[in-house]
Amino acid sequence: MNRKVSEIFGDWHEQGVLTQHQGPDTTITGIAAVEAFGCHDLIFVDKPSFKQMVAQNTPACIVTTSKLAEEFSDQEGLAILIAPNVGLAQALMRQTYVDRDLRHTEWPAVHPSAVIHETVQLGEGTVVGPCVVMGAGVVTGCECVIMAGSVIEHGVQMGDRTVIHPNVVVGYDCELGNEVIIHSGSIIGSEGYGFAQDEKKQSHRIPQLGNVVIEDRVRVGACNCIDRATYAETRIGAGTKFDNFCHIAHNVIVGQDCLLTAGLIVAGSTTLGDRIIASGATGIIDHLNICDDTVFVHRAGVIHDITEPGVYAGTPTQPWAEYRRNAAAGKRVNEMLRKLRELEKKVAALEKGE
């Protein structure tokens, strides 16, 4: 990276990501953390507590809010870029200027060790790493990256600029949209858990012959399993982001722009609405409907439909305010039991006296 502050401002002003440039037009050679930066770096400042760090070792430029900018206005030689949303500015600017270039590899664009069926159609600019296996009829979009050791089974359709990290399996006939990212160890289209039992309680496999459809801009973290449907499809909505170690069972529908963190388990045929947020170790049983804009916290165990947006916690799930009251009361259970026993003794004594 080697850009003037005015150039960076010009890149992002029209989109509204940056709204103002104050101070000198210095040259930026890198983007760094606020805890460790050099004199030619750009940093992102979204907390007043960072002021002392910036004052002790002045960077070339900060990206901050209009309110915090006043705190740094007297610092000599400091360029200031004002952003309404510093977090969003950080995401977009780091993606553009300093992100890892997955298309630049030390090997040929299509590694000679890759096993690619003659009917595969690779989009323009697609990179295929060592020991990749691609089955019959696979079609990729343009500028995709399929990294070492991944298996793309027959019939998979993949949109533009999709990235498959090392050692991923995408099962047959699954569909991936544009700009999907799937991290290492994840399996898309594993067989759903479907069995029927006879009178001896022996289990018989029900073939799971549907597929998985992952819409645009979905991010699947490491070691996720998203099962194919029994008949139709398991679907993940556009913009949804999975953390590591999540499991999505057969026939589940996940809405758009959800944020789903580590340890999430969603059982079969449940539907999640749009913009769902699930904190770590959330569990949701089968055949439920979860409405839009629901937030699950404190290892929520969801055993019934959620029909009203809001924050829910605990097992079974309760609205946040109710959960907090119950949790606070739970800390006093021993005290309340002791008082109850004392009252019982007093009542017994009074009854004897009567």
Residues assigned a catalytic role? 250
Cα(93)–Cα(81) distance, integer angstroms: 12
| Contact call for residues 289 and 309 (beta carbons, < 8 A) | no
Reported as type and span, the H/E element at residue 352 is: helix 333-353
SS3 347: helix
Helix (H, G, I), strand (E, B) or coil at 7: helix
Query: CB–CB of 217/198 below 8 Å?
Result: no
φ, ψ at 340 (rounded to 5°): -60, -45
List of E strands, 86-154: 115-116, 127-128, 133-134, 145-146, 151-152
Tell me 268's DSSP state: T
For CA atoms 50, 51, 54, 59, the dihedral sign is positive
Neighbouring C-beta atoms of residue 167, cutoff 10 Å = 17
Cβ atoms of 147 and 126 within 8 Å: the answer is no
Cα-trace Rg, the chain: 27
Sorted by sequence, the CB contacts under 8 Å of residue 122 that are 6+ apart come out as: 110, 116, 128, 140, 144
Amino acid occupying residue 70: E
Residues 170, 151: contact at Cβ < 8 Å? yes
Around Cβ 278, how many Cβ atoms within 10 Å?
A: 28
Q: Please give the Cα distance from 158 to 143 (Å, whole number).
A: 11
Nearest-angstrom CA–CA distance, 217 and 177 = 7
